[in-house]
Chains A and B, each alone.
Chain A
Amino acid sequence: MHGFRRDKKEEEDGSGSHSLLHLDKSSVLQEARATFNGTPVVARKCSHVLTKILMVLNQGEAIGKEEATETFFAITKLFQSRDQAVRRLVYVCIKDMASISNDVIIVTSSLTKDMTGKEDEWRAPAIRALCRITDAQMLQSIERLMKQAMVDKTPQVASAALTSSVHVARTNPEVVRRWLNEATEAASSSGEGLVQYHAIGLLYTARKHDKLAVRKLVSKHARIANRSSLACCLLIRIAAKALEEDDSVPNSGEMMDFIEGCLRHKSEMVIYEAARSLVGLNATNPKELAPAVSVLQLFCSSPKPTLRLAAVRTLSAAAAIQPAAVSACNLDLENLMSDGNRSVATLAMSTLLKTGGESSVERLVKQISSFMADIGDELKVEVVRAVRSLCEKFPRKASTLSATLAQMLRDEGGVEYKSALVDALIAVLHDDNDARNAALSHLCEFIEDCEHTSLATRVLHVLGREGPKTARPAAFIRYIYNRVILEAAAVRAAAVTALAQFGAHCPQLLPSILVLLRRCALDQDDEVRDRATLYIAIFQSEDQSLISSFISGEMHYSVTALEKSLKNYLKTSCSEEFDMKTVPIATPLEQGITSGSAPGSAPIEPVVARAKATVKEDPLEKVPQLAKYSPVFKSSGPLALTEALTEYTVSCVKHVTGSHVVLQFTCENTLTDQLLEDVWVQVEGDLEIVEIVNIDELKCGVQQSCYTVVELPDVDNLSSTFTLACTLKFKVRDCDPTTGEVDDGSYDDDYVLEDIEITVADHIQKVLKADWAAAWEELGPQNELEDTFALSAMNTLQEAVKQIHSFLGMQACERSDNVPEGRSAHTLLLAGVFRGGHAVLVRSRLALSNGVTMNLSVRSTDPRVSNLITQSVG
């Protein structure tokens, strides 16, 4: 490449600035037109200018359609050049300009000529460029060529055709489906490994929605011996993904056998991939993990550092789910602790922390400090997480461990590392009383010298919550008040709130707190002053209910939803008062994330916590017709309304809003010879349909949602359960599965689905009450209802607890959902908020006696809600 070579030279000369730096867009484009339009073209100069264009494009500079088109046409003139470098740069430019220029199809014939020509160097890049510029209408004209290229004997050409088809499949899956015979041929070719790999990649992309086809793909290609290692790894991933999504896939055993068989492959890459997939599949039983663990164990003593790293990383992930299965490797891991590679050593240690017994904890923890000095933050976080889970596992060691954490907190580190440490210390607070005081004082010490505002405010919040519960709350005041003097406004504000907590919970401290708050009320920051003034006023009113709802009480609203509701409110005329009851309640998981408190909420290990974003967007905002029903109060999990592997599969999510239920039906058409139009779901039952949003067109293999909205009666007329009979309605247009051609005529058809039930649980959002008894007292007995039931179908208390819990859809508090073994009586404490913002608490006393007897008490801010709940049980 002339251009590059010259640049290199200039660079070495050190003469002048680099010619590709500080390019001016318009002068480059100008130069391009001048250079490319000449006769004859000078290859060396053209290469250089093309490079400049690419540079400008990749700098992200915006190029207007007209300019771009003009430049594009100038570039097309370079097809007269037979210079290798020029031509290859031309292909790259065409790809990069395909979306910003008009009439790019002008190069179609030139590219098809190059892709079938004699010049091997041009064929592959021409294919890639051709697929970029070809739109849906033109695809047909290149079909034959693409199919030929896929089975071309030159590996680069076949690979280019296969990978480009993967891109085409994203926008035109039905066309690419017609090319699969050739792809299958390429996948079975014995030649180049990369071609097999790309071919399998294409076959999978084209059929990934079809479970049956995926299964066939794996079983067909698994059998071919002498498969390339890359292709083999891909097949493992495909099989693992299919198993992970749904292990009821027919023949899942066969796929599992294939993955396990790969543990005996001759290539290390394949063996590792198989082991990693087995670990990722979350095997619940140590026996299933054993074979994977034993190959990883072998890798631990490999001379290759990459293999050792891979092995220990995967073992570390495995240890998070199945420490027992990994403990077989303890000896090898001990050896790796002295590995020359710091990352390997640290991972080995954090794995040992997970697998080791209580006795080894202290010894390992002692070694931590020798590691921490020279590893990156990412690994440090790993270690902190390991220590944290140790605290949970061995509560007796919590004090020792929290001292270690505190020591780490004093060292240097980025905000993520520090925040992992703070999280760990906060987690210790919940678990153990001895460790609590120690952890709190470590945190106090930490905020004395903490440069991260976000962490300081978080710690202050925790001190405000936990400090008053300790034996000597007064000890914390000094630390907190120091913040008011020394810190940034946000931290000062948080400190004021923390002080108010002490005032609310510790009456003996209130006079001194008021003195401090009065000083804070002179602060120069508005927020700090406002908070102090508010708290002083509330305290002076001496009204306990005010104090409990504004200071000591817990907030259950979802913060993101509150923000959104307020924003929406500001868009209105604001003539009516803002109604807090319209704000959705945060689910305990969400609360756990924000306060770092709920047990088991924060992800300990990435492998375990894979997927499931917790703070979700409002699903109704995305659909314009439905935005008026937003916000959603509670969404159920998806519910299958058809059996797996039927012609049409439909699942339903119930979004309950203030006064409606939006039923979201996710539909998939698995028939290749049908195109569905105007798809919707009819529901019949006690509730009126008020709105329908249908799917205009549902192609085979695509998942789309239609919506049916029903109106809920007010609480007086609410019955505990509504049953809705569902029917999928649609128009069918037959189409040819191979060509994708669609018939003109269509006919109506329908398909009966399972019924949907809207139960009490759908109206209640879970809320975690840290102090359930206090909340019970606060609600008072005025709306209490009580009843006793005999649950004859239940045999154990645990079973009854599980049933009641899931039936009511409320949050179990104080870990009352666990029945200690050997008990004959148990009390389940539940908390929630009813649609419309009414707090509900349920106490269910259970006793074992010929089945289970249950005494149920319900308290709520609304008597109708108490009533509804007792009715729903009986």
Chain B
Amino acid sequence: MGIFSKLAEWLGVKRKECNIVVVGLDNSGKTTILNKLKPDDSQTSDIVPTIGFNVENFSSKSLQFNAFDMSGQGRYRNLWEHYYKDCQGVIFVIDSADKLRMPVAKDELDQLIQHPDLVSKRVPVLFFANKMDHRDALSSVKCSTLLKLDEISNKPWHICASNAITGEGLDEGVNWLSDQIKSYLRDLERRRR
């Protein structure tokens, strides 16, 4: 991705900016995923549990992302909502090897979907069924069943299996999200006119 940003700059094309929130239970791999999405030269090797949040920047072919990487620990989860208001996309990361806490993840997801700041918006939600390399990892289909993703009606969503360490599956997800956000933004534009 590094190349893109350089090339684009060079050509004078400025990509549109968008804000997304990255949520999910602690230890699910949010920070690791965002780290992998950044240009190689700004990746770090030292990832510690997040306290509060962090802003990370990365870009896809057509969009520049400001990602609010939230902390997934129990006592910080009620702070996610502060960042819902002006986001144009959500990444929800699931630790697909943590079967035990699936119901907890489901609970947090429900609260997110029904949150007043998001409930009436068609904000796209991307799910990463992360840690697919893990021995006990559930498939993305199994994850979506457990989280009852079918029941999400008013938002476009998509789930990909991913491996944050190698980067497998990340591009697919991000590409899907870029397209969705672009059409979401176009929609907003149109409605505003």
Q: Which residues of A contact B (CB under 8 A)?
A: 37-40, 73, 76-77, 79-80, 103, 105-110, 112-113, 138, 141
> What 0/1 pattern do residues 12 to 50 of B give for CB contact below 8 A with A?
000001110000000000000000000000000000001
Residues of A within 8 A of B18 (CB): 39
Other-chain residue from A38, A40, A108 in contact with B51 (beta carbon distance below 8 A): A108
A855 to B151, CA, bound (A): 107
The answer to whether A79 and B55 touch (CB under 8 A), given A38-B86, A39-B18, is yes
- B62 near A: Cβ within 8 Å? no
Q: Which of B77-85, B106-114, B167-175 contacts A (4 or more CB under 8 A)?
A: B77-85
- B144 near A: Cβ within 8 Å? no
Residues of B within 8 A of A141 (CB): 51
Could you write out 16 A-B pairs with CB less than 8 Å apart?
Answer: A40-B17, A77-B68, A77-B86, A80-B55, A80-B57, A80-B66, A106-B79, A106-B82, A107-B52, A108-B51, A109-B51, A109-B54, A109-B71, A110-B52, A110-B54, A110-B55
The answer to whether A105 and B88 touch (CB under 8 A), given A39-B19, A80-B66, is no
A112 to B50, CA, bound (A): 10
**B82 pairs with A39, CB closer than 8 A:** no
A77-B83, A107-B52, A141-B51 known; 15 new pairs, CB 8 Å cut-off, are A39-B18, A39-B19, A39-B66, A39-B88, A77-B86, A79-B55, A80-B55, A80-B66, A80-B68, A106-B52, A106-B82, A107-B53, A109-B52, A109-B54, A113-B54
Would you call the interface of chain A mostly helix, strand, loop, or mixed? helix
- B19 and chain A: residue at smallest CB distance: A39
A103 to B79, CA, bound (A): 8
A76 to B55, CA, bound (A): 10
The answer to whether A80 and B19 touch (CB under 8 A), given A39-B66, A73-B82, A106-B79, is yes
Shortest distance between the CB of A68 and any CB in chain B (Å): 13
A103 to B57, CA, bound (A): 24
Other-chain residue from A38, A39, A80, A108 in contact with B52 (beta carbon distance below 8 A): A108
- B82 and chain A: residue at smallest CB distance: A73
- B76 near A: Cβ within 8 Å? yes
Residues of B within 8 A of A109 (CB): 50-54, 71
Tell me which residues from 56 to 84 in chain B have a Cβ below 8 Å from any Cβ of chain A.
57, 66, 68, 71, 76, 79, 82-83
A112 to B46, CA, bound (A): 12
Residues of A within 8 A of B79 (CB): 103, 106
**B51 pairs with A39, CB closer than 8 A:** no
Residues of A within 8 A of B50 (CB): 109
A617 to B58, CA, bound (A): 63
A76 to B79, CA, bound (A): 12
Shortest distance between the CB of B31 and any CB in chain A (Å): 9
Shortest distance between the CB of B66 and any CB in chain A (Å): 4
- A69 and chain B: residue at smallest CB distance: B82
Residues of A within 8 A of B82 (CB): 73, 76, 106
Shortest distance between the CB of B44 and any CB in chain A (Å): 9
Shortest distance between the CB of B50 and any CB in chain A (Å): 5
Residues of B within 8 A of A138 (CB): 51
Residues of A within 8 A of B53 (CB): 76, 106-107, 109-110
Other-chain residue from B19, B51, B68, B83 in contact with A105 (beta carbon distance below 8 A): B51
The 9 closest A-B pairs by CB, nearest first: A106-B52, A108-B51, A80-B66, A40-B17, A73-B82, A79-B55, A109-B50, A108-B52, A109-B54
Shortest distance between the CB of B94 and any CB in chain A (Å): 21
Other-chain residue from B55, B68, B86 in contact with A37 (beta carbon distance below 8 A): B86
- A38 and chain B: residue at smallest CB distance: B86
- B16 and chain A: residue at smallest CB distance: A40
Which of B50, B68, B82, B83 has the most CB atoms of chain A within a 10 A radius of its CB? B82
Residues of A within 8 A of B83 (CB): 73, 77
Residues of B within 8 A of A113 (CB): 54
**A106 pairs with B86, CB closer than 8 A:** no
**B54 pairs with A39, CB closer than 8 A:** no
Shortest distance between the CB of A87 and any CB in chain B (Å): 11
Shortest distance between the CB of B192 and any CB in chain A (Å): 14
- B185 and chain A: residue at smallest CB distance: A39
A48 to B86, CA, bound (A): 21
Tell me which residues from 76 to 103 in chain B have a Cβ below 8 Å from any Cβ of chain A.
76, 79, 82-83, 85-86, 88
- A108 and chain B: residue at smallest CB distance: B51
Shortest distance between the CB of A536 and any CB in chain B (Å): 77
A141 to B79, CA, bound (A): 19
Residues of B within 8 A of A110 (CB): 52-55
A138 to B66, CA, bound (A): 27
Residues of B within 8 A of A103 (CB): 79
A419 to B119, CA, bound (A): 74
- A138 and chain B: residue at smallest CB distance: B51
A816 to B91, CA, bound (A): 91
